[in-house]
Amino acid sequence: MADSLYDELVSRGFVHTVTNADGFGAALARQQTFYVGFDPTARSLHTGHLIPLALAGHLARAGHQPILLAGGGTGMIGDPTDRSATRAMLEVEQVQANTKAIQSQVERMPSLAGVNVEVVNNADWLSDLRYLDFLREIGRHFSVNEILSTETYRARLQDGKGLNFVEINYRLLQAYDFLHLFRERGCLVQIGGSDQWSNILAGVDLIRRIEGVEAFGLVTPLLTTSSGEKMGKTKGGALWLDHKLTSPFDFYQYWVNVEDIAIEQVFSLLTTLPMDEISELASRKGPDTAVVKHRLAKEVTSVVHGVEAAEAAYEAAQSLFGAGAGSVDAAPETYISEAQVDSGLNVVELLVTTGLVGSRGAARRLVNQGGAYVNEQRVDRPDRIIATADFEQGEILLRSGKKRYHRVRLSEQNKDD
């Protein structure tokens, strides 16, 4: 199926594993409802969720109907992990708060703007399950031997970490989510990260056993560094998609600093640029690599925070680290008159006047991000007034970021007049 949607997904690197490639490719020729789920272990999604979200965007723009599931129900017990004996359960109130935050977050995702996205919470149906009925209808289709043979459970047992009954039940609940969405919404496709493969496969198998229908599952790869570590990990922890937890500037800077070898993969998976343009960008070497990485950072930041925030992050980065950064001794000079100072000149106006930034908006963002200094003192608010007393020996040393300096000298008459 040359040039099919499935072929495009393969070429961009989205397909790590799929239940039936030919069947799934054929199914995409017709409009499908698909879903991707996120458990509310925190009040924000993180970089690890970006690839399934990006895939959802591709499918939605191709005419398929996305359902984004916030796991307020499954989040009550938590997906088993192979990193510890048991995952700590969150308080009910915290799960509910996290679920609400994630629902709001995915609804506002710039990458899904203009798409008719349905956001659901599986607590709406899981909370109403009757235990005996669930065991009779759903539980009897699951083999304990099969569950324990999967990688996560097997690793836990081999390491002597043990499992509890709640963790074994997680797979049944996620499989039931798929069955429920098939029955209620006609959903035939579930997508997720590669660590969800066995859970997704359980849902596909459950629908086949009970409804006699072939459903499909597709999992995406993980973004990893050359050493095999997951991308999106920083010294401060996860790289969050919530701007209050990870600022757009810090988010931007993370992608500027990715390894050269990862450029093409990140472009392919996390942006909507055409593949021929991505190939051309990835082929650039030497000094052009830095330019390409800034393009990459702007594209990915736009996907998460929007174009305006991405532009602001770029401007701030240029002010902090870009061309023109120099030494104090070589700082250019601007003369202003006492009359200008007495008129109530503020630091934003001064930054624009000296050319350290290109606009008042960029100057305000620089101040708010802690990158503006007067006489080596950080400016903490954009309305900070420049006073005559700031002129030490007739001049002010203005700094943007770490290296860009400008001297502002006081004169009775502006020398530029």
pTM: 0.75
Residue 288 has pLDDT above 90, yes or no: no
More confident call, 348 vs 401 = 348
| Calculated CA dihedral for residues 254, 259, 261, 267, nearest 10 degrees | 10
pLDDT at position 235: 62
d(CA 278, CA 281): 5
Read off the pLDDT of residues 184-216 as tens digits, 9 standing for 90 and up: 999 999 999 998 999 999 999 999 999 999 999
Instruction: Name the helix (H) or strand (E) containing 153.
Output: helix 151-158
For CA atoms 50, 51, 54, 59, the dihedral sign is: negative
Instruction: Name the helix (H) or strand (E) containing 68.
Output: strand 65-70
pLDDT at position 234: 67
pLDDT at position 415: 41
d(CA 197, CA 191): 9
d(CA 166, CA 73): 13
The tokens describing 20, both together, are: 């039936």
41 CA to centre of own chain: 16
- CATH 1.10.240.10 domain range(s) in the chain: 248-321
Count other Cβ atoms within 10 Å, centred on residue 59.
23
- CATH 3.40.50.620 domain range(s) in the chain: 5-222
Read off the pLDDT of residues 82-93 as tens digits, 9 standing for 90 and up: 555 556 678 889
φ/ψ region of 158 (left if φ > 0, alpha if ψ in -120 to 50, else beta) reads alpha
CATH topology of domain 5-222: Rossmann fold (3.40.50)
67: which strand partners? 35, 118
Strands 372-374 and 377-378, by their bridges, are antiparallel
Q: Which of 141-145, 275-279, 320-324 has the lowest mean pLDDT?
A: 320-324
Q: What is the mean pLDDT of the chain?
A: 87
End-to-end CA distance of the chain: 70
Residue 29 has pLDDT above 50, yes or no: yes
Q: What is the 8-class DSSP label of residue 89?
A: P
Instruction: Name the helix (H) or strand (E) containing 34.
Output: strand 33-38
Residue 81 has pLDDT above 70, yes or no: no
- Cα–Cα distance list, 313 to 74, 267, 301, 388 (Å): 36, 18, 9, 32
Are the beta carbons of 174 and 202 closer than 8 angstroms?
yes
Write the class of the CATH domain 333-411. Answer: alpha beta
Residues 6+ apart with CB under 8 A from 357: 315, 319, 351, 363, 366, 400
Write the class of the CATH domain 248-321. Answer: mainly alpha
pLDDT at position 417: 40
pLDDT at position 186: 97
Residue 413 has pLDDT above 50, yes or no: no
Read off the pLDDT of residues 98-115 as tens digits, 9 standing for 90 and up: 999 999 898 888 778 778
- CATH 3.10.290.10 domain range(s) in the chain: 333-411
Q: Which of 85-94, 170-179, 251-260 has the lowest mean pLDDT?
A: 85-94
d(CA 375, CA 406): 10
